[in-house]
């Protein structure tokens, strides 16, 4: 069946939701790296030419300029493409697809100059094939015990994956019961991690969020989450297995270009999905086809946009280059464009008065209402890290030099803002305690009009003499004094904090070990919100009850970021202590997503088991401790040049003193 045939037949079924493609990914740039899906019906010739195109193209362009065909989603959000040449209007097809580009199109593209505009309406770019079906290969995983196949009298025959996980579980139960079963935790973790690998058209592209065969209601935990994949990716990279990471980066890049809509409104083009799923769709003749099905928040609980996804993607792209030495990936034109699209979204001018990024509640790891709307530390720290990554990776030329300048300015302003206004230690609390309010002037000390009564009583007793931390959030008349672990750790890792602050953050964790680590590393935030505060802040969320889940629950996945921060600050003993705590329980408890209670004593109330980022976080921590030098590729030292940048007009006019200049001596050391 030829491509056009499929398309015209398929126009019969019109899907209910419409998404359109604003990206030039169909030019072949983004798919040519991964040809297996094209093998059945598309010729090898076209693949070869596409690869040549990849290497030679000087095609510097924003893909958004290549309009001309639409993608149509049906209610399972499948993506389809159709050529506009030959059709008067973009049309809908309701069959899954694989994109490739006709050979002669690719060879034409190869000859393009760097100018893009003149090509916008060139219909030849839009000839796209619908990919034929393939049979989906089952995952091949190593069995621990070949004879054990069904556990607990389950009547439903189990898949090979399920058997594998169950075999491991049986082994653990036996171990718990005192029967001497030597369990190599690391081996088990690797088996589970490999069992969580998701393939697309025969190649590995990510890992599912959780892989518990007993879970009959996985919701979206059977998807590949961008943020969850980070520790998996690092474990694979540190083990010398880069392919899955490269595939992940390129496939998610492809998804970035979708135009997504929630009730007819579209977020920005650079948005990366929170997660994606590989769906298998039956075709004629007992064949199957796989489709990538992303979720940008339009299906997510609360409909939150995952602001952190793009930032994690950039961070992973740099890590991939650093660890594998394959810098060619980040130099690719489509990858450079992907970075720019994310940055354009983050750096877009708005109403902001601050250099920090303004987001809604739940736009990061804490992906439901927890009172972190505004300028939460987690997003600021990841934003800072992503800006530092981008600065290293962007190819500087006429097309990117303004962006690079904007990045430098933002890095400088953001670090000043966070260092100066988010920092809390004993001294600072005492200052806030004595704040005057309602100060109207440029010289106000209490710039955000914080009423001292806001200092929570727990903090007065809790703050240690040694150490300090960065606030969870800062808004007009609002300081969120909760300690958020991920944001603080990434401030250390990215050097968003000053060297002294970074040291003090680890000192605080050490001093408050029982509260932040307890029996399972590490608390997502401290303390939990309770009673009336819980009602107001979470909206009475039964999952986020005090000391559970996002509300003071303990998340073992945070271990790898803690380990990284400790390695950076030369505190290996702290990381080792945390890893051995985790080691005692994780495998026995079946790798839970999170733990509950003040000390992290119980497996979380609604915690998933066999949670991939718990497993991968543990492995990555171990690998980094074994090879701290390799880990050092993943963090940043202070950048003294950045500290010098100040673009504010005050320094030029001489009318007023620049507040950054005045504060510099205290904060920037
Ligand atoms: C939960 C977490 C989120 C994670 C997802 C998949 O929603 O809050 O951070 O990405 O589960 O594991």
For residue 378 and ligand 1, the question of a CB distance below 6 A is answered with: no
For residue 295 and ligand 1, the question of a CB distance below 6 A is answered with: no
Q: How far does CA 299 lie from the centroid of its chain?
A: 17
What pLDDT, in 10s, does the model give residues 162-192?
455 455 444 444 444 433 333 599 999 999 9
Cite the beta strand spans of 118-201 per DSSP E: 197-200
Atom 4, ligand 1: which residue's CA is nearest? Answer: 365
Strand partners, 275: 225, 295
Tokens for 143, please give them.
């069995």
Atom 12, ligand 1: which residue's CA is nearest? Answer: 209
How many angstroms separate the CA atoms of 294 and 176, rounded? 40
How many angstroms separate the CA atoms of 483 and 509, rounded? 10
* Number of Cβ atoms within 10 Å of the Cβ of 176: 12
For 48, phi and psi rounded to 5 degrees? -60, -45
Q: How far is the CA of 219 from the centre of ligand 1 (A)?
A: 11
For residue 480 and ligand 1, the question of a CB distance below 6 A is answered with: no
Atom 7, ligand 1: which residue's CA is nearest? Answer: 367
Q: Output the pLDDT for position 153.
A: 33
Least confident of 20-29, 196-205, 541-550, 587-596: 20-29
Q: How far is CA 562 from CA 372, 384, 518, 541, 573, in A?
A: 21, 18, 14, 28, 12
What pLDDT, in 10s, does the model give residues 580-589?
999 999 999 9
Enumerate residues 6+ apart whose C-beta is below 8 A from 366: 372, 378, 524, 525, 550
Contact 283, 133 (CB under 8 A): yes
- CA dihedral in degrees (329, 99, 310, 204; nearest 10)? -70
Q: Output the pLDDT for position 96.
A: 25
Which atom of ligand 1 is closest in space to residue 608's alpha carbon? 12
Q: 34-66: buried (b, 16+ CB within 10 Å) or exposed (e) per residue?
A: bbebbeebbeeebbebbeebbeebebbbbbbeb
Atom 9, ligand 1: which residue's CA is nearest? Answer: 365
Enumerate residues 6+ apart whose C-beta is below 8 A from 8: none
pTM passes above 0.85 = no
What pLDDT, in 10s, does the model give residues 83-132?
222 222 222 222 222 322 222 223 322 222 222 222 222 222 222 222 22
**Cis peptide bond N-terminal to 522, omega within 30:** yes
How confident is the prediction for the chain on average, in pLDDT?
A: 76
How many angstroms separate the CA atoms of 150 and 15, rounded? 40
In 3D space, the residue among 115, 113, 22 whose CA is nearest the CA of residue 65 turns out to be 22
3-state secondary structure of 602: strand
For 101, phi and psi rounded to 5 degrees? -125, 140
Tokens for 491, please give them.
């401030």
Which atom of ligand 1 is closest in space to residue 274's alpha carbon? 10
For residue 365 and ligand 1, the question of a CB distance below 6 A is answered with: yes
């Amino acid at each position: 069946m030829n491509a056009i045939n499929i398309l015209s037949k398929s126009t019969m079924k019109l899907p209910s939701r419409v998404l359109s493609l604003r990206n030039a990914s169909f030019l072949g740039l983004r798919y040519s790296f991964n040809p297996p899906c094209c093998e059945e019906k598309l010729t090898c010739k076209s693949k070869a030419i596409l690869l040549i195109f990849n290497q030679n193209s000087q095609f510097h362009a924003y893909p958004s300029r290549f309009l001309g065909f639409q993608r149509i989603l049906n209610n399972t959000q499948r993506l389809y493409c159709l050529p506009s040449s030959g059709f008067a209007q973009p049309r809908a097809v309701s069959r899954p697809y694989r994109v490739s580009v006709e050979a002669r199109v690719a060879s034409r593209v190869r000859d393009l100059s760097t100018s893009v505009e003149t090509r916008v309406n060139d219909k030849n770019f839009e000839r796209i094939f619908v990919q034929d079906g393939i049979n989906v290969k089952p995952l091949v995983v190593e069995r621990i015990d070949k004879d054990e196949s069904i556990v607990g009298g389950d009547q439903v025959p189990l898949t090979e994956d399920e058997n594998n996980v169950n075999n491991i579980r049986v082994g653990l139960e036996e171990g718990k019961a005192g029967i001497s079963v030597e369990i190599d935790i690391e081996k088990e973790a690797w088996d589970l991690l490999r069992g969580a690998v998701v393939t697309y058209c025969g190649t590995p592209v990510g890992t599912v969020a959780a892989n518990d065969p007993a879970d009959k209601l996985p919701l979206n935990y059977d998807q590949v989450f961008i943020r969850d994949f980070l520790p998996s990716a690092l474990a694979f990279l540190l083990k010398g297995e880069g392919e899955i990471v490269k595939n992940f980066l390129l496939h998610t890049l492809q998804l970035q270009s979708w135009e997504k809509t929630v009730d007819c409104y579209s977020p920005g083009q650079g948005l990366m999905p929170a997660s994606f799923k590989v769906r298998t769709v039956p075709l004629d003749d007992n064949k199957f086809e796989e489709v990538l099905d992303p979720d940008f928040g339009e299906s997510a609980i609360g409909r939150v946009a995952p602001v952190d996804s793009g930032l994690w993607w950039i961070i992973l792209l740099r890590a991939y280059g650093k660890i594998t030495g394959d810098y060619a990936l980040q130099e690719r034109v489509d990858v450079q464009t992907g970075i720019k699209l994310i940055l354009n979204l983050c750096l877009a001018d708005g109403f902001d008065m601050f250099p920090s990024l303004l987001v809604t509640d739940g736009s990061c790891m804490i992906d439901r209402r927890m009172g972190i709307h505004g300028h939460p530390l987690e997003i600021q720290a990841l934003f800072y890290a992503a800006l530092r990554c981008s600065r290293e990776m962007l190819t500087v030329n006429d097309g990117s030099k303004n962006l690079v300048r904007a990045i430098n300015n933002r890095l400088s302003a953001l670090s000043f803002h966070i260092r100066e206004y988010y920092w809390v230690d004993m001294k600072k609390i005492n200052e806030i305690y004595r704040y005057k309010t309602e100060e109207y002037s440029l010289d106000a000390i209490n710039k955000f009009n914080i009423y001292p009564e806001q200092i929570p009583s727990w903090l007065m007793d809790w703050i240690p003499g040694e150490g300090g931390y960065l606030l969870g959030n800062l808004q007009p008349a609002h300081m969120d004094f909760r300690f958020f672990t991920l944001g603080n750790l990434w401030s250390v890792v990215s050097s968003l904090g000053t060297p002294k602050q970074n040291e003090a953050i680890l000192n605080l964790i050490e001093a408050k070990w029982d509260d932040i680590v307890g029996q399972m590393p590490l608390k997502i935030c401290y303390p939990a919100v309770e009673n009336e505060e819980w009602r107001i802040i979470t909206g009475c969320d039964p999952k986020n009850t005090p000391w559970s889940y996002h509300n003071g629950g303990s998340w073992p996945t945070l271990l790898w970021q803690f380990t990284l921060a400790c390695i950076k600050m030369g505190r290996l003993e702290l990381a080792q202590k945390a890893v051995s705590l985790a080691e005692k329980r994780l495998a026995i408890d079946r790798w839970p997503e999170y733990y509950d209670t003040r000390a992290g004593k119980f497996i979380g109330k609604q915690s998933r088991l066999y949670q991939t980022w718990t497993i991968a976080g543990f492995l990555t921590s171990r690998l980094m401790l074994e090879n701290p030098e390799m880990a050092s590729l993943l963090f940043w030292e202070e950048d003294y040049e950045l500290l010098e940048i100040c673009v504010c007009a005050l320094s030029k006019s001489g009318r007023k003193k620049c507040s950054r200049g005045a504060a510099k001596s205290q904060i920037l050391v």
